[in-house]
Structure 1
Amino acid sequence: MTVLAGKHPQGSPRGSPRARRGARSPASALFWRLFLINGLVFAAGLTVLALSPATVSSPVLLTELPILAVGLAVMLGANAVLLRTSLAPLGALTALMERVDLLRSRDRIAHSGSGDLGTLIATFNAMLDRLEAERSASAAHALAAQEAERQRIARELHDEIGQSLTVVLLALKRTVDRAPHDLRAELHTVAETVRASLDEVRQVARRLRPGVLEDLGLISAMNALASDFSGSSGVPVTRLLDARLPQLSGDTELVIYRIAQESLTNIARHARASHVELSLRAEPDTEPDTVVLRVTDDGRGGPIHDGAGIRGMRERAMLIGADLTIDRAPSQGTEVRLSVPLVPAPIAERRE
């Protein structure tokens, strides 16, 4: 079960004449708009001065200076208002450039499609759409390769190293039966060491390739994941797993499982928690209907830093159109929340 990217979005070639004309048109339109605004302001000011009874002597009299100052202030004020109105979308565009993150939720600038900057904003939004699609496709290919490599390593651990350790363990058992009495204790110790190594190899193989997910389904896989976590870390896990989940695709189940697995791994490594809650429920009252995964701990919490593990979780969530948030829990510790809409993902597709 692997996650693969869909087709790359098609568009005009970067160096095509159409693309070059599209790149020049917003700047050209902005230039002419500013030129016309300034021309309109100065023409209006000139008309008002020409039709008003105010006159200007040569040299300028002191009594005429206030009239000139008021006229200049009115023209500058009108020019400032018109320019600020025309250039207001640039402020929103700058703010979006500063906060945009291709792994976060879609963030775009709303525009009416009219005005000189409408084309610029529409082009920028289209660029973000294209970058997100390309990032999703690249991440999907990388994660697909990662899953394939995990499955290969898991098979080798199970079929080669696991079988070899099993053969060694059986040989040790036969040797113990024929060994002198004074050597049996040492051979028993060696056999237990080999048995423990075999168990560790099997656990690593299960973590790399969740066979229970394919064989028994998501709920059984989540229960096994919680049991393995409690067994290795000693931290109890409260499980709130809805057995009546709606039908989910193989990709969606794999993403939910991997994000839960990474969350529990982070808790074991960093949280110093004494209790964990693992919840997976359907929320049909939302729009659209969603399945929500929550992993909450009562550990030390603290600032959330997007390391390699968290960014990998965000990339997986992006592949199925899910929303991933990592924040402080209501009481203390950290809460990981994955909200999966029950709609087909636009980018990911499954290959058996």
Structure 2
Amino acid sequence: MASVRDVRLLPKAHLHLHFTGSMRSGTLLELADKYGVHLPEALKGGEPPKLRATDERGWFRFQRLYDMARSCLREPEDIQRLVRETAQEDVADGSRWLEIQVDPTSYAPRLGGLIPALEIILDSVDRATAETGLPIRVLVAANRMKHPLDARTLARLAVRFADRGVIGFGLSNDERRGFARDFDRAFAIAREGGLIAAPHGGELSGASSVRDCLDDLRADRIGHGVRAAEDPRLLARLAQSGVTCEVCPASNVALGVYEKPEDVPLRALWDAGVPMALGADDPLLFGSRLAAQYEIAREHHGFTDEELAELGRQSLRAARMPAAALAEALADVDAWLADNPAAGPRAD
């Protein structure tokens, strides 16, 4: 069998990762024991639960499992541990830049309020960066299931903490609910404050939800976006505008959006020239982290090492990295590609 380059060594940026969903399964079990939380069997086995969120009942079950896991994060040291371990996992997978997405209102009741919760998260990010060397930024995400006024509050909070590590503003949860345009003012606040606009769209809902993110929220990036493949004109628009889709192949299959890894339209987006940043979404629930998404591209979609290297570059370019760090990471992508694993070790 021919040798292949290790995708864990390919420099890349991780731009689609949710906070609680980034937790190690072993950490969840330990925290549940610490606080006497009775976890459902689906979260106990160390294996990803069986999920299918293409109907209301399935999405409710997914959210219930996520909320149960989040209930085990109760003290600042729990937050610190989660971020530190997440950074360690990302470093092992070749990440040079991590943007982790969080709705601080979900953690506020146990951490002293909305502002203290975000401060604890940002302090934990600073610690994890110092310990692992991985630059980490935070993307504050509003919940589509809540009132748009709540989103405006979060947008103002995100802008207030832009100099502390908040880099973007998102919109998550079930995109089949409500309208993107209801959140346009919140995204305007975020954009005016210099933040990246990165709402979810084009996963549970079709191509129209991607179009709404572009038209109504003026998205810089789209969380998921894979359903854009159903509309060739929309694909062309994404490619022409350079809007990056944060594609999460394992997540798409785990939630039933596509039946098999090879059904995820990675090739359709690639062939149309749409920039992509592969992401793990929620490793706790979907069972795979960042490098595994590149393995899916290789094994199920036939991406060559040259194409995988370009995927790494696209993710890095979509991140808001300092210019020097970006240049270094891009050079390291070239070095990864220049390495020939089939040649074996060099003789002295």
TM tier, smaller: under 0.3
Which of the pair has more CA radius of gyration?
Answer: 1
- Normalised to the residue count of structure 1, the TM-score between the two structures is 0.23
Relative to total residues, which structure has the larger helix share, 1 or 2?
1
- Normalised to the residue count of structure 2, the TM-score between the two structures is 0.23
